[in-house]
Amino acid sequence: MKPEARTPVFTLRPEARASKCHFLKRHLFHTPPAITIADADLTGKTAIITGGNSGLGLETARHLLDLGGRVILAVRDEAKGQAAVDNLVHGRQLAPDMIQVWPLDMSNYQSILAFAEKAKSLCTLDIVILNAAVIKAAEQFGSSGYEESFQTNYLSTALVLLLLLPIVKEKRSSGSTGRFAITSSDWASWAKFDGGGPGAILPQFKKPRQPWDGMNTYGIGKLFNQLFVWELVKRVSSSDVVITHPDPGMNNSNLGRGASGITLLVLKIATALLARDPSVGSRTLVHSVTTLGATAQGHCVEDENIEPLAPVLYTAEGQRLAERLYEETLDELSFAKVRELVGGTASDKQSDSELVSAGKSPATDDGRLDRFVTIVKTS
C-alpha cells in the first residue's frame, strides 16, 4: 500500500529551528501544554516505553496512565523497573496489569528479539515510545563490534522499531492508528558528520573516533534515526502507523549519567540554566502519540507542533545519505529478517536525492509527504 499524500505546515524553516537562538527562546519562553483525557482517551490501549524507569520515560508513563492507558516499561534493570512501578502506582488504584515491567537490554540483539517475541502475545499494542538512550564519557565497544552509545541510540532503536512495527499494525485497537515515537534531540541538527565518504557508513562506528566526542556521537545517533525513518515511511501507510521524532528539549534527567569531564560540566551548566522538569518535557512525547494526526508522519514534534527535521534532510546530500543508511541498516539487521517485515525493496519511483538534485520536491506523484511544505510564521 502506498503512503497517502499529506501536507503538514511548519512554523519554522529547518535552519531556523536548528538555531541556538531558537533553542534558547523555546526553553525560556514556551512550555508544551498539558494533555487531558478530554484531549486523548487511551482507555483500552497499550503502550510500550523503552527507558521507562526514570526521567522522561517515567514521566511519560505517568501521563499515559493519567489518560487511561496501560503501560509496559521496557528496562534493562528489572529492580529499577519495579521501583518505577512503585512510584507510578503511589496514590492510584490500578488493576495489576495496568503497569508491567519487561526486560530489555538495548545493547543485546538477543534480548531485543526475545522482547519482540513476547510482544506478539499482547492482545493490543497501540503505542511504542523508543526513549532509551545514553551519552558515553569514554568510547567503548560492545559485543556487536559497534560503539556502545551508537548501538543503543541508533542500531538497536531501529531494530526494535522494525520488529514492533508489524505487531502494532496487527494489534492496534480497532479503528485506531498505531503510534511510534523516537525521542529526538536538537543534537540531531547540531551533530557533525561528513557523510562518510564513498565507503560504507556503519563500519565507521566500529573504529575508534579520535578525539572522542560523546555528545556528537549521541547527536549522530539521533540524526541517523531521522534519516532512517525518512526512508522507512515511504513503505508505511499513515492510516496504519504514524512514526514521529518528538524533541522534548533539555530536561533534568539522567541521560548524561555516563558523561564526565568537559561534557559533564557543560551538561550541568546547561541543565541548571535551561532544563525543563521531565514532567513538562515529557508532554512533547505524549503529544506525538496522541494529539497529532497523519501529517506528523516522519517528522519532528517540538512541544505540541509538527516541525522540520535536521536541515541536512532537505538537501540532495542528505537524501543520498538517508538512502544509503537505510539499505545498510537493513543489511546489518538482516539476521532478524527485517526486509520481510517492511517490504524493504526500494521504490521504483525517482529517489528523493534525484528529485532534489533536479530542483523538485520529493513527493508529488508517488503520494509521499511533500517535505518541502508551506512554512508559516506564528505570532
- Write out the catalytic residue numbers: 184, 218, 222
**Contacts by residues 360-363 (CB-CB < 8 Å, ≥ 24 positions apart):** 362/319, 363/5
Count how many Cα atoms sit within 13 Å of the Cα of residue 306 in the half-sphere of its side chain. 24
Instruction: Pick the closest to residue 182 from 230, 126, 226 (CA basis).
Output: 226
Q: Are strands 70-75 and 46-50 parallel, antiparallel or unpaired?
A: parallel
The three three-digit cell numbers of residue 304, written as one number: 505540541
Residue 8 neighbours by CB under 8 Å, 6+ apart: 295, 296, 299, 306, 369, 373
- The Cα–Cα gap between 351 and 363 comes to 10
Residue 99 neighbours by CB under 8 Å, 6+ apart: 61, 65, 70, 71, 72, 73, 85, 88, 89
- Cα-to-chain-centroid distance, residue 285: 9
Instruction: Pick the closest to residue 277 from 246, 250, 258 (CA basis).
Output: 250
φ, ψ at 287 (rounded to 5°): -55, -40
- The 10 Å Cβ neighbour count of residue 24 is 12
- The Cα–Cα gap between 162 and 239 comes to 17
Residue 191 neighbours by CB under 8 Å, 6+ apart: 216, 218, 219, 220, 222, 223, 310
Q: Are strands 241-247 and 178-182 parallel, antiparallel or unpaired?
A: parallel
Question: Largest Cα–Cα distance in the chain?
Answer: 59
φ, ψ at 29 (rounded to 5°): -125, 0
